[in-house]
Amino acid sequence: MIHKEGKATILISLIVLFALNALTRWLAPELIWLQNVVLAISVVLLVIVLQFFRNPAITVTTGDNLVISPTDGKVVVIEEVEEPEYFKGKRLQVSVFMSPFNVHVNRNPIGGIVKYFKYHPGLYLVAWHPKSSTENERTTTVIQKPNGTEILFRQIAGALAKRIVWYVKEGQPVKQAEEMGFIKFGSRVDIYLPLDAKVKVGLNQKVKGGRSILAEFN
């Protein structure tokens, strides 16, 4: 299944690739090899775009004491940091990097009420750059559980990601593992946990959005 965020991009890609192939045939009708090369490249590019916007059906993992991965990707950061925007204190940061080949649907790591949301315009540093969390285009979302526990997570644009999409707003009740947004063409998501949370993943471990357990907490 193709995600709704990809429909316009796929249509534009089809139009451009069709025009490119038609132009090649018109300008070089005798160069069959060139026409075949352009056609092959077009097919590869279209397949890449289609797989990027895929949205497979999944069976989600849920649990009141669980923090679920908000996206597919690889764990690139696990460390205690200072979170300056909302908590203004120490938290455990777990970051998941998405390559262009991962599913880019973003999901709520916990269920509860959206207590805080803010969009930040910014730069497009590579997603693994140390300053990407504070200087890149990003969103910050805080979800509060009924018991008061709060989890903060950020959608962060990367060098290729030029558009962040979100479907949440402050005061909105959300369900764990349901879609909350989408980032186009590769990036990362940072999750900030209470210091007493028990992290259940390791560095460089591959995780699945809505299914993999990142941490447990009380």
Question: What is the Cβ-side half-sphere exposure of residue 145, based on CA atoms within 13 angstroms?
Answer: 16
- What is the phi-psi region of residue 164: left when phi exceeds 0, alpha when psi lies from -120 to 50, beta otherwise? beta
Residue 172 has phi, psi (to 5 degrees) of: -85, 130
Locus of tokens 């056609």: 39
Show Cβ contacts of residue 47 under 8 Å, excluding neighbours closer than 6 positions: none
Which parts of 52-149 are beta strand (E)? Answer: 66-68, 73-83, 89-98, 105-107, 112-120, 138-144
Look up 187 and say whether it is catalytic: yes
Strand partners, 154: 140, 190
- Give me the catalytic one of 95, 133, 187, 212: 187
What residues act catalytically? Answer: 187
